[in-house]
């Protein structure tokens, strides 16, 4: 994609307030796919805090028709993506701009674009400037009035933010709608939709007694797939009022689904726009994982109404102010929705698993950046696991340090101080600390804020010493993060007796390079259970022996650490085999421990499934200095095959015991049982490949055909595909035929094949073949992700090939995607973030592929920034 030399590095320290404010905007759109006319009438005033200077507006890929100040034409110049008006008056003035844009040519899906015959917008981070010229920065907040005009037949539904003021008929079969949003907002929260949609509607009364109309808009055939999203929205509303006292501030709250979307969803004021993959669910087409992801994304966008919209970011370096906080809020919501302590623990385990799989590698690789970045070329490259997920862990640590009630008081103060403002992460930190004077946070606030400024995952080492004579146990904790200053690390610590007795639990705050903590009255040597609930996003070396890990696996009162013990036992074995270059052979102690988990009469199915799932290959790679993806894969596969064989009878029992009679509900208990049944089935089919048994592949095929919900159907299909069973082929073609009218299910069909564990190059060959399938297209982000991203980001053994074919394919796809959609191309480029740790021959081949992308003259800023960081 051609870009005109706009690759400037933006620095946080260069922040300056704008020279002008835009107070109100009156926008009108004459919508046409080829050429949409935009008229923008703004009330502008000079920012008296800033000395004289020109009015500089942003605009990209626009065709400018005229510029008027107070109704008179005015001289201006254009410089790249800037429109500069030197003669802007000092007194308040009216600015009118007219321009056109071309929605149907907008394959970048940023700004105003068409999808499935309708118009949609995505303005975060800097898409508004692709609609009209504006001060497109989050600290400029205006009140919007929006008039949409479009063909009535093609676009019967016309939506924008806020309240509907007026609708009516126009000539030539066109109609109009006029909207007004009373809340001043930054341009990134603007949205419009013009399309042929239908809505599920629900009226609700909030605690305070106000009436609200909730609407979920989708294409005609999708209405029955919106029930879950509507229920999730209602639950979010209730939760935010109950937990944080935050009510819905609008009479109408709209959610719209669109099939072409760069991310999950967007929190535009009163008009959230969702990727259909994050919105639509029915038992027949969506899995348990989809149901829970939808619940959390609907909640996330709804929660942004306060954390993001009512209080927004001063500049994009502060992105985690809204994203880290809102992820924290959606994670808390999901835990509260899950209900029981063990279902809450399952939520936490899943969140940590994805943090470790995505954020830890990011923090150790080419794109490592602090939660509050210091510089960027393309802000869209910084919607990352660090800003979102690590940012959420930082918010969680505030809560751990000041307690739940203290955190709620801090949130209250935050809104009292900053409602209606665009603020910084420092403002948030100050509010939480000021509401909790004398807390473990307030006394260490400056040191705590290193979580915002220092990149990298701190390593914490813990060593215990028991003194029988004094009955004391002393724990020495130390930390390091690439020579940076010590961080404030809350270490929730329990002591567990070898017989399982809970001896103590305490919050230890590690804030120096090394510190010792002594527990008194400890009658016998305990096993330390550190970092309970994963109380800080660090890598922990606790030096525990297998025997000690087995004690925790059996007895720890903290379910998270119980699971962690299962993972550590597996990880130790996998790492030992990989480091020694030896085939992995599982020992009886480990196998028996896993057998007792699987047979345990009290543990939940969901927990068993998590404990028996081996650590992910990306997380394993993070533990190694030199990474051989094939060796890691071989060790994991060997462990899987041996667990499948050794526990065969137990897998059969687990499969049989977790069949669910009756209708489908996505509740955590049923979902956990389906997950365990699916894991058991995949183990049994895998073992059948070894033994030559045909019964279990046959049963899997039968279950695949007869399943009454997508979780069971896809689970059975995965069991066949992942084991490379013969029946996989016919199941795959049957699945495709059955769901050819359901794009989100066809995405699953592509993804499942692209993620299949590599065996003799078959998975890679299949991806290359599928890239030529009639249903494949790089233009739809979901489809591109389902195939290409699944291979390059989620199937290391298929991607990292000794013959470099994976890297050649990656480079081709990055370049092709960059010409269509730079944001999505930038994400794919990141598959090479960790190339410097690769073993040969992968390392040299990776460098060559990256260099080939870098050599292309016309790269987007998105891809250029990633590639240059990789080569730096």
Catalog residues that contact ligand ARG under the rule CB under 6 A.
124-125, 262-263, 265-267, 300-301, 323, 380, 383, 823
CB of 265 to ligand ARG, least distance (A): 6
How many CB atoms neighbour CB 30 within 10 A? Answer: 17
| From Zn ion, ligand ARG, none, interface partner of 226 (C-beta below 5 to 8 A by class) | none
Of 125 and 632, which has the nearer Cβ to ligand ARG?
125
The partner in contact with residue 823, picked from ligand ARG, Zn ion, none with C-beta cut-offs of 5 to 8 angstroms by kind, is ligand ARG
Q: Calculate the alpha carbon distances from 120 to 89, 179, 559, 623, 835 in Å.
A: 35, 16, 44, 43, 37
Any residues with CB less than 8 A from the CB of 398 and at least 6 apart, and which?
A: 407, 410, 429, 432, 441
Give the H/E segment covering residue 66: strand 63-69
Binder of residue 491, out of Zn ion, ligand ARG, none (CB less than 5 to 8 A by kind):
none
Q: Mind giving me the DSSP string for 657-716?
A: HT---SS----HHHHHHHHHHHHHHHHHHHHHHHH---HHHHHHHHHHHH-SSHHHHHHH
Binding track over 321-360 against Zn ion, x by CB under 5 A: --x--x----------------------------------
Q: Which does 366 bind (CB under 5 to 8 A by kind): Zn ion, ligand ARG, none?
A: none
Catalytic residue selected from 60, 126, 267, 301: 301
Q: Give the shortest CB-111-to-ligand ARG separation in angstroms.
A: 11
Q: What is the full DSSP assignment across 152-163?
A: TTT--EEEESSE
Tokens found for residue 864: 């250029």
Task: Work out whether the CA dihedral 98, 104, 105, 110 comes out positive or negative.
Answer: positive
Using alpha carbons only, what angle is made at residue 258 by residues 257 and 262, rounded to the nearest 5 degrees?
120
- Is residue 865 part of the annotated active site? The answer reads no
Q: Which is nearer to Zn ion, 126 or 323 (CB)?
A: 323
Closest CB 191 distance from ligand ARG, rounded Å = 12
CB-based contact 858:1 (threshold 8 Å)? yes
Shortest Å, Cβ 304 to Zn ion: 6
The partner in contact with residue 488, picked from Zn ion, ligand ARG, none with C-beta cut-offs of 5 to 8 angstroms by kind, is none
Interface mask (CB under 5 A) for Zn ion, residues 272-311, using x and -? Answer: ----------------------------------------
Residue placing its CB nearer to ligand ARG in the complex, 307 or 709 = 307
Nearer Cβ to ligand ARG, position 255 or 536?
255
Residue number with CB closer to Zn ion (326 or 709) = 326
CB-based contacts of 812: which residues, under 8 Å, 6+ apart?
Answer: none
Considering CB distances under 5 to 8 angstroms, the limit depending on partner class, which of ligand ARG, Zn ion, none binds residue 380?
A: ligand ARG
Cβ count near 520 (within 10 Å): 9
325 vs 559 by CB, closer to ligand ARG:
325
11: which 2 tokens?
């620095």
SS (H, E, C) 489-532: EEEEEEEECCCCCEEEEEEEEECCCEEEEEECCCCCCCEEECCC
Return the one option of Zn ion, ligand ARG, none that residue 262 interacts with (CB less than 5 to 8 A, by type): ligand ARG
Give the shortest CB-371-to-ligand ARG separation in angstroms. Answer: 15
Beta bridge partners of 801: none
3-state secondary structure of 55: strand
Answer positive or negative: Cα dihedral of 617, 618, 621, 622.
negative
* CA 321 to centroid of chain Cα atoms: 15
Neighbouring residues of 83: CB distance < 8 A, sequence distance ≥ 6: 56, 57, 58, 59, 64, 67, 76, 77, 133
Separation between Cα atoms, residue 699 and residue 491, nearest integer Å: 47
Query: Closest CB to Zn ion among 323 and 747?
Result: 323
- CB-nearer residue toward Zn ion: 262 or 479: 262
Closest separation in Å from C-beta 228 to Zn ion: 20
Give the contact letters, 308-327, x = binds to Zn ion (CB under 5 A), - = no: ---------------x--x-
Give me the least distance between CB of 657 and ligand ARG, in Å please.
Answer: 39
**What residue 400 binds from Zn ion, ligand ARG, none (CB within 5 to 8 A, per partner kind)?**
none
User: Active-site positions?
Assistant: 301
Question: Where does this chain bind Zn ion (CB under 5 A)?
Answer: 323, 326
């Amino acid at each position: 994609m051609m870009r005109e030399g706009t690759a400037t590095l933006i620095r946080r320290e260069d922040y300056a307030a704008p020279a002008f404010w835009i107070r109100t905007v009156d926008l009108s759109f004459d919508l046409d796919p080829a050429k949409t006319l935009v008229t923008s009438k703004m009330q502008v005033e000079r920012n008296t805090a800033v000395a004289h200077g020109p009015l500089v507006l942003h605009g990209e890929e626009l065709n400018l028709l005229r510029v008027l100040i107070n109704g008179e034409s005015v001289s201006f110049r254009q410089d790249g993506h800037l429109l500069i008006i030197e003669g802007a008056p000092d007194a308040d003035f009216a600015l009118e701009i007219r321009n056109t844009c071309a929605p149907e040519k907008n394959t970048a899906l940023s700004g105003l674009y068409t999808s499935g015959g309708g118009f949609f917008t995505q303005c975060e981070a800097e898409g508004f400037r692709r609609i009209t010229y504006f001060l497109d920065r989050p600290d400029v907040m205006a009140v919007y009035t929006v008039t949409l005009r479009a063909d009535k037949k093609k676009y019967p539904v016309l939506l924008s933010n806020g309240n509907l003021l007026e609708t009516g008929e126009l000539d030539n079969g066109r109609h109009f709608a006029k909207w007004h949003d009373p809340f001043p907002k930054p341009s990134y929260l603007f949205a419009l939709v013009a399309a042929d949609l239908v809505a599920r509607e629900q009226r609700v009364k909030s605690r305070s007694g106000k009436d609200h109309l909730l609407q979920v808009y989708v294409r005609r055939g999708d209405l029955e797939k919106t029930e879950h999203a509507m229920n999730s929205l209602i639950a979010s509303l209730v939760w935010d009022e109950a937990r944080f006292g935050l009510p819905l501030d609008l009479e109408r709250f709209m959610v719209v689904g669109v099939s072409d979307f760069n991310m999950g969803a967007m929190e535009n004021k009163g008009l959230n726009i969702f990727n259909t993959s994050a919105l639509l669910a029915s038992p027949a087409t969506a899995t348990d994982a989809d149901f829970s992801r939808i619940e959390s994304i609907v909640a996330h966008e709804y929660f942004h109404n306060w954390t993001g919209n009512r209080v927004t970011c001063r500049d994009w370096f502060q992105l985690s102010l809204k994203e880290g906080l809102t992820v924290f809020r959606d994670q808390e919501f999901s835990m509260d929705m899950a209900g029981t302590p063990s279902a809450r623990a399952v939520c936490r385990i899943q969140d940590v698993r994805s943090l470790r799989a995505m954020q830890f590698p990011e923090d150790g690789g080419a794109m490592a950046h602090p939660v509050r970045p210091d510089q960027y070329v393309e802000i869209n490259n910084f919607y990352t696991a660090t800003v979102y997920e690590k940012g959420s862990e930082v918010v969680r640590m505030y809560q751990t340090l000041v307690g739940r009630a203290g955190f709620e008081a801090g949130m209250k103060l935050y809104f009292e101080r900053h409602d209606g403002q665009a603020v910084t992460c420092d403002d948030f930190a100050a509010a939480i600390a000021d509401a909790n004077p004398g807390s473990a946070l307030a006394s260490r606030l400056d040191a705590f804020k290193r979580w915002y400024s220092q990149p990298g995952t701190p390593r914490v080492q813990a060593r215990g010493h028991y003194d029988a004579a004094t009955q004391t146990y002393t724990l020495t904790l130390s930390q390091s993060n690439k020579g940076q200053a010590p961080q404030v690390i809350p270490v929730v610590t329990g002591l567990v007796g070898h017989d399982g007795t809970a001896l103590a639990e305490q919050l230890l705050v590690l804030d120096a390079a090394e510190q010792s903590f002594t527990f008194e009255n400890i009658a016998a040597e305990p096993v330390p259970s550190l970092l309970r609930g994963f109380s800080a996003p660090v890598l922990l070396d606790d030096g525990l022996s297998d025997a000690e890990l087995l004690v925790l696996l059996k007895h720890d009162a903290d379910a998270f650490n119980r699971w962690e013990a299962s993972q550590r036992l597996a990880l130790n074995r996998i790492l030992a085999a990989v480091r020694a270059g030896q085939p992995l052979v599982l020992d009886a102690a480990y196998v028996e421990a896993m057998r007792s988990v699987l047979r345990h009469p009290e543990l939940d199915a969901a927990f068993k499934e998590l404990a028996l799932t081996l650590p992910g290959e990306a997380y394993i790679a993070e533990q190694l200095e030199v990474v051989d993806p094939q060796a890691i894969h071989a060790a994991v596969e060997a462990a899987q095959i041996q667990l499948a064989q050794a526990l065969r009878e137990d897998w059969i029992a687990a499969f049989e015991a977790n069949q669910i009679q009756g209708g489908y509900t996505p509740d955590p208990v049923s979902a956990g049982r389906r997950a365990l049944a699916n894991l058991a089935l995949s183990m049994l089919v895998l073992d059948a490949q070894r033994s030559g048994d045909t019964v279990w592949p046959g049963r899997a095929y039968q279950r695949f055909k007869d399943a009454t919900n997508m979780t069971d159907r896809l689970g059975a299909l995965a069991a066949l595909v992942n084991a490379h069973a013969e029946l996989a082929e016919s199941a795959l073609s049957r699945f495709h035929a059955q769901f050819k009218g359901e794009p989100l299910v066809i995405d699953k069909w592509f993804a499942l094949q692209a993620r299949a564990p590599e065996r003799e190059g078959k998975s890679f060959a299949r991806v290359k073949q599928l890239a030529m399938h009639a249903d494949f297209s790089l233009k739809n982000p979901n489809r591109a992700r389902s195939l290409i991203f699944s291979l390059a980001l989620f199937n290391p053994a298929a991607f990292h090939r000794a013959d470099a074919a994976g890297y050649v394919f990656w480079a081709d796809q990055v370049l092709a995607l960059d010409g269509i959609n730079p944001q999505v191309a930038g994400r794919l480029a990141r598959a090479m973030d960790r190339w410097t740790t690769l073993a040969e021959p992968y390392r040299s081949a990776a460098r060559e592929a990256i260099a080939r992308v870098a050599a292309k003259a016309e790269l987007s800023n998105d891809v250029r920034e990633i590639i240059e960081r990789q080569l730096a």
